Chains A and B, each alone.
Chain A
């Protein structure tokens, strides 16, 4: 950074590198951006903050050419540039990592990294050999351990996200855009990404603009931040100048006390679900679990240690191939989703866009999809019943939609998630499985979902809550089970549910920590101390 300062006169650190002025954008009836300003400097990690629908994603999409702005100018290094397509963004050395993965599932990692920029030899012939070795070299260089010949569809969600990031990094962009890039990553990978961001900005003097909803993350990497609210620019500030409370106030536009602790549900001793020695292939083994009525049971662990697989097994998606499963004390065999539903078990899947919603269908159809059996008579859906059910759902979850005939696609991420939950609640659900329900949604909606879960538990519903955010597990759960390498290694209760405890079990060092308890010197210990 010092380089710029010594460069005399007009080239100071403070010079704005990227400027966006008077940017407006409408999507149909919705104003996504209204006369917005945004600017950032070279060598800066700049974070965009705001609730979903505040306009952050639209800013990013305009910058990378996915969405065309209605009005306004974009200036890079003081010069006006036109960005109207993904190709234009390339030409201006802007690369983006998308929240919805932009990878081609059927192609290999290397083919994806080089997509549109393949290494070609004579007569435009693609040199696949060179591509694979170059991709392997590059992945190695940036510290990703994935074989570049692997097909993307065979990778885990987390690995896909890593490839997505590698793809953007390979373009050696001057400006790197990250839209919720960490939501699919495990703790370790997030660490890796932050190191990369640090290196890009502070050593290579590049610009990184990113969106994240995880406050604890932000404080680690952000140099400056800009807050948006309801399609308007609110303020920009150097990170650290505002307290968390002030930031939340700016985001929500009102003083909000945030969430209180919501545990200790009046759970009876009645066990509604029990798993004995459950196992599935190589993914899960020795799963023993009891779920009580009116309890929120947290499921924690680093990504890819079997948590998602267990939820899928409970829901009959990839059923347990060994072990016993008891619902209300009676043994049941759940081999399919329908059988799970019959037993009152419903899953809210983690990938709402692909597994949860019919994006191109109207909101009302999405909500009633799983409950059609209840709403029909002689095979015909009863209009009155449907309307009642819908009104009930909308109110209960305060889904913000102008018209129920709009497609699910038209809603913001947070409201889409509410739709998926509403859909699940319309069934005769007794045991609700939530797979990372707050992934990539804004703080306001998150709090609403927490409140809803709390209320449901109070009314006697049993909830299994998988989350990648430790803070929400601590906030809500009566008990937390921690996964490590496909089995449950710890069950934490009451005071024991802490970030440090969960992490220690999740990375398999709990015994080590217990032995030399006083020395909190290792990384995980230091992290939880920050709080």
Chain B
């Protein structure tokens, strides 16, 4: 019975184990290259590098679970980033209190993110349109809105806020780590463990079967897009704190990287498999590789190339594992 459980667990999470193996290698390489890795600045720098992609990937994973895909995540984040950098100072002026103004700004951004997600979700669920088409269209809308809100890069972000979000708490704990933990504990886990969350796996696995089991398909799908929208907002908040401005022209790889990270973390783009656990590993790998390339002074022209190669390699690990297992099984049988 115990053995059974271990076997089933490993079978179910093999992709994730591979992702964590790769992540370990990347982190170790990183540790060797970063001089202050073992000081209090080390974790801070690492978490600041990974936080935005981690959160974006968590949102993307929810949608991928339903066998959908969100091509608008990157532009959603840029849009919310522009809004945030633009409205923060006016709101602070309006309420006349820094703290309250910032909290109000965050609330507005979160609500706006939820709305963006809701729009995607409603179009997909009730419009019966394919997610890839819907999010391609809304992606243009979001970047258009971003340019409307902020024709030029800029805006004002309170430096206290920026320092708080990118700094450390109690001397050692990076704020970004706390944010990531909060996102997992307050957003992902409760949602995953709700009926709607469970329904995502069912829908992605086999939508007809899910329907036959009495699952409310539309509600579950919309909730996935909505929560993903909230994740985009959280990502935008961290991004704004890091860049201290809103930039509609910023090159952003969030869409591509979040999809790649989810796939690296064991999510299947056919739907039905994936987890926060794996996706975070995927996001960490992709973020830190960029850092490594900087350490190694690889020209930024080649970053994409190398990132892509590593992605292909990591994804083929599963294939290799499968192949080796097959050979072993054959050898075992022959030995009998």
Contacts and interface: CB of A to CB of B under 8 A. Distances in A.
Contacts of B195: 116, 118, 120, 124, 126
A116 B214 contact: yes
A120 B8 CA distance: 24
Contacts of A86: 211-214
B202 A104 contact: yes
A476 B205 CA distance: 40
Contact of A154 (B11, B214, B272, B333): B11
The residue in A90, A102, A116, A150 that gathers the most chain B C-beta atoms within 10 A of its C-beta is: A116
A85 B208 CA distance: 12
B212 A106 contact: no
Contacts of A87: 214, 216
Contact of B330 (A124, A285, A321): A321
B194 interface: yes
B334 interface: yes
Interface SS of chain B: helix, strand, loop or mixed?
helix
Given A86-B212, A115-B213, A123-B190, A150 B206 contact: no
B272 A98 contact: no
A280 interface: yes
17 contacts: A86-B212, A86-B213, A90-B214, A101-B209, A102-B209, A104-B202, A105-B272, A115-B213, A116-B202, A116-B210, A116-B214, A125-B193, A149-B4, A150-B8, A167-B213, A285-B336, A321-B330
A66 B212 contact: yes
A219 interface: no
A89 B334 CA distance: 52
Chain A CB within 10 Å, residue with most, of B4, B199, B206, B273: B206
Nearest to B12: A151
Contact of A279 (B210, B272, B333): B333
Interface in A268-298: 279-282, 285
A98 B205 contact: no
A101 B329 CA distance: 30
B20 interface: no
A322 B333 contact: yes
Nearest to A64: B212
B206 A105 contact: yes
Interface in B163-214: 190, 193-195, 197-199, 201-202, 204-206, 208-214
B334 A115 contact: no
B205 A281 contact: no
A104 B206 contact: yes
Nearest to A125: B193
A282 B213 CA distance: 35
Contact of A321 (B4, B198, B215, B334): B334
B8 A149 contact: yes
B333 A281 contact: yes
A149 B4 CA distance: 9
B5 interface: yes
A149 B2 CA distance: 12
Nearest to B333: A281
Interface range, A side: 35 or more
Interface in A104-155: 104-108, 111, 115-118, 120, 123-126, 128, 147, 149-151, 154
A497 B81 CA distance: 77
A321 B193 CA distance: 44
A321 B206 contact: no
A108 B334 CA distance: 32
B322 to A, nearest CB: 13
A248 interface: no
A33 to B, nearest CB: 20
B126 to A, nearest CB: 16
Contacts of A154: 8, 11
Contacts of B213: 86, 102, 115-116, 167
Contacts of A200: none
B212 A280 contact: no
Given A104-B272, A105-B272, A321 B333 contact: yes
Nearest to A147: B4
A321 B211 CA distance: 41
A118 B198 contact: yes
B8 A151 contact: yes
B206 A115 contact: no
B17 to A, nearest CB: 16
Given A104-B272, A125-B193, A125-B194, A116 B215 contact: yes
Given A104-B202, A106-B272, A151-B8, A126 B329 contact: no
A154 B209 CA distance: 17
A32 interface: no
A421 interface: no
Given A118-B195, A123-B190, A125-B190, A104 B11 contact: no
A149 B12 CA distance: 10
A106 to B, nearest CB: 4
A147 B198 contact: no
Given A86-B214, A126-B193, A150-B8, A106 B333 contact: no
A103 interface: yes
A111 B198 contact: yes
Given A86-B214, A105-B205, A124-B195, 16 more contacts: A102-B208, A104-B206, A104-B209, A107-B201, A107-B205, A116-B213, A117-B214, A118-B198, A120-B195, A124-B194, A126-B197, A128-B193, A151-B8, A282-B329, A321-B333, A322-B333
Contacts of A116: 195, 199, 202, 210, 213-215
Contacts of A128: 193
Contact of A126 (B194, B210, B268, B334): B194
Given A149-B5, A149-B8, A280 B198 contact: no
Contacts of B272: 104-107
Interface in A315-332: 321-322
Nearest to A111: B198
Contacts of A150: 8
7 A-B pairs with least C-beta separation: A104-B205, A106-B272, A115-B213, A102-B209, A102-B212, A321-B330, A116-B214
Nearest to A150: B8
A105 B270 CA distance: 12
B67 to A, nearest CB: 11
Contacts of B1: 147
A515 to B, nearest CB: 30
A128 B11 CA distance: 18
A111 B213 CA distance: 11
A150 B12 CA distance: 9
Contact of A322 (B208, B210, B214, B334): B334
A106 B214 contact: no
Interface in B202-236: 202, 204-206, 208-216
B5 A282 contact: no
B205 to A, nearest CB: 4
A191 to B, nearest CB: 26
A106 B330 contact: no
B330 A281 contact: yes
Contacts of B12: 151
A153 B28 CA distance: 36
Interface string A49-75: 000000000000000101000000000
A89 B212 CA distance: 10
Nearest to A87: B214
B41 to A, nearest CB: 38
A115 B202 contact: yes
Contacts of B212: 64, 66, 86, 96, 98, 102
Interface in B1-60: 1, 4-5, 8, 11-12
B212 to A, nearest CB: 4
Contacts of B333: 279-282, 285, 321-322
A123 B214 CA distance: 21
